[in-house]
Structure 1
């Protein structure tokens, strides 16, 4: 049985807490360029069809009713629900165009609606979107797919949950962040316990197979005690998963964050105390550490996949479907098809213009070369399973690991000395103390990082 615990070493965390990627892809999205467009994307779809295999779909619904000051997502804040109408028309057209390019015999094993706030759409609109997807892609009809949606409990009620279940969703993620009323006011997200737990209870009653709660630590006015109170209240409802993210205050990149009072942000020392408390509480409650801010019950699919060596990581986070090509649909969405990543236009008008011309709205991407694919495999194994077999990599990529990565192995020596990992002739084993710092370990294998490091959030 794989050890899925963590060890909180305050000294190590302080010394290694620097900026770095979250590795939802390698190369990261910063390497996407505008020399890659629709023509290149179509070529990769052809290669993907020749290889076959299942698909994963991501649909981006960018609208939010109100703005949360901490948000770093690609969203459009509006109270005018009519704004969703032309966007939905264009999204359905894109689904039709993309669906025509992929072989219909390829099952969609995974589907996710993200945002923004997908439940900004009304029931009729959500039904139309799912019906259009089913008409152009091979969705499962027996509830065996992993079909998930992000919901805002302030935009959701019992009827909404029942409608989502009827549409085929069987996993749900609830945004929360913090229950403390002072923190909620400071970040402009007022959300009651009654709203949140009513949605969680409704999801269970309707038969959703997995429930996830999103929290953020490091928000203004948070303390160890206040966040512990929030966590205790949620643990009483025992969701299947937790996603507990470090707030990255980057107001130069995300203008809305300028609304946050920097003087009210917890100190780095206080954030570390909160993180330590979170790890202890969730471990005591029986959750296991999946990695990168994610905890799950031992019998959850993510935890099982990690123990079986089948966990994967993509633009939506940890996933059990490493065999799926990911098709991004909607404004700003990112996909991974074959050996390439691609992204749709970020602005609504550019996205709409492409769709009106019957063009795929891809505006940038990147082809992975042999070195990219090799390093991606190394980073994926480390970030998902906290270990790496040299023999497995050598067999798959026809290299001698010690020769190819001689410089990287030398750079790992200080981490070995500090107890983050062990390097043996057989491979790399990350320690329980090193798991919270897995991004640092992966960064050693990132050839693009040096010139880009200032553009990432801190690892802790």
Structure 2
């Protein structure tokens, strides 16, 4: 059986803690450019239809009732629920436009509503959005797909959860971040244990197949002791998955983060101590490390997919559906169709204008060349499975791995000396000490990284 353990080596982490991508795609979103537009996207959809296969749909619902100061997502903060109405009307038009371009026999195996706060919408709006989607795309009706939604427990109750299950959702992710009152006040997200756990329990009662809790370490006023208390409370209710993110404090880039007091930020040593505590507590509780901030119960679909060798990573994180082309819908959404990545425009007025003109609201994109596809395969295999067979890559891409990646293999030698990985003539095996630093290992294979590294957050 695959070893899904991690080893926390403080010296290694301190030495390797530098900025780098999260590799939800390769090339990363920084390589998307404005020379790729509506017509180029249509061409890639045609190629995708020729290849066939299932689809994944991502919907961006950008609205939030209040702003969380740590947030770096693309969102629109408003208490006026009517602001969602024109956006939904345009989103439905985009669904129709894109749906008409994809073959109707391509089944949607994966669907995700993110944000923002998708439950900002009321039931009638959510029902209408799902109905329009079903009208233009081939949604499953047997509950075998992976249909997930991000919810804010402050915007959700038992009835909402019942309605979401009725609409076809079977996986749910609850935003929390931290239960400590002082931390919540510092980041402007006041959320009670009762709100959170009642939503989690309702999801179980309604038959959601997977429950995830989002936490963030490195927020203002956090300590090892306070975060341990939050973690203990959540472990008591045993969610299926944890997503525990490293907070990247970049106030120069994200305006809302300027409302956080820099003096309240935990030191790097405290952040590392919190991370070490989290790894120990979750491992002791029986969770396995999937990679890149994610832990899951051993029988969870992600953990099983990793052991069986078919885990995948896309713009929503880890996935069990590597065979799906990803269609992005709504402002700022990013898709992957065929050999291209595509991002929609970011502003509501521009989105409305393009939709009104009958154009796909594409802002930018990038077409992958053969080298991109090769490096993507290598990085995806490493970040999902911590193991890479040279022979498998050579067979798929018709190369000699040691010749093609001679410089990269040389760059990995110090990592082998440090105990992060094991290099052999057959492949690369990431060791327990290297799993928390998997981004560093993947960065060796990233040809675009040198000139872009300052634009990424630190790996730990």
Question: Common fold, TM-score beyond 0.5?
Answer: yes
Aligned position for 1:383: 383
Aligned position for 2:403: 403
CA distances 1:9-48 after superposition (whole Å, capped 9, x unpaired): 0000000000000000000000000000010000000000
Q: What is the number of equivalent residue pairs in this alignment?
A: 460
| Partner Cα distance (1:250, 1:317) in 2 | 22
Q: Secondary structure at the match of 1:176?
A: strand
Residue pairs, 1:72-91, within 5 angstroms? 72-91=72-91
| Partner Cα distance (2:143, 2:367) in 1 | 34
Aligned position for 2:393: 393
Segments of 5+ residues of structure 1 without an aligned counterpart are: none
Aligned position for 2:193: 193
Aligned position for 2:110: 110
| Partner Cα distance (2:261, 2:373) in 1 | 42
| Partner Cα distance (1:314, 1:219) in 2 | 26
Aligned position for 1:301: 301
CA distances 1:244-284 after superposition (whole Å, capped 9, x unpaired): 00000011111100000111011000000000000000000
| Partner Cα distance (1:364, 1:282) in 2 | 40
Aligned position for 2:424: 424
Q: Is 1:17 the equivalent of 2:31?
A: no
Deviation at 1:194, TM superposition (A): 0.3
Aligned position for 1:439: 439
Q: Secondary structure at the match of 1:411?
A: helix
Q: Secondary structure at the match of 2:101?
A: coil
Q: Is 1:161 the equivalent of 2:168?
A: no
Segments of 5+ residues of structure 2 without an aligned counterpart are: none
Q: Is 1:152 the equivalent of 2:156?
A: no
Deviation at 1:54, TM superposition (A): 0.1
CA distances 1:392-431 after superposition (whole Å, capped 9, x unpaired): 0000000000000000000001101101001000000000
| Partner Cα distance (2:127, 2:273) in 1 | 44
Aligned position for 1:170: 170
CA distances 1:211-240 after superposition (whole Å, capped 9, x unpaired): 000000000000000000000000000000
Q: Secondary structure at the match of 1:341?
A: strand
Runs of 4+ in 1 over 3 A off after TM superposition: none
Residue pairs, 1:123-162, within 5 angstroms? 123-162=123-162
Q: What TM-score does the superposition give when structure 1 sets the normalisation length? A: 1.00
Deviation at 1:358, TM superposition (A): 1.1
Q: Secondary structure at the match of 2:437?
A: helix
| Partner Cα distance (1:212, 1:354) in 2 | 36
Deviation at 1:190, TM superposition (A): 0.2
| Partner Cα distance (1:434, 1:67) in 2 | 36
Aligned position for 1:262: 262
Q: Secondary structure at the match of 1:335?
A: strand
CA distances 1:147-189 after superposition (whole Å, capped 9, x unpaired): 0000000000000000000000000000000000000000000
Q: Is 1:100 the equivalent of 2:100?
A: yes
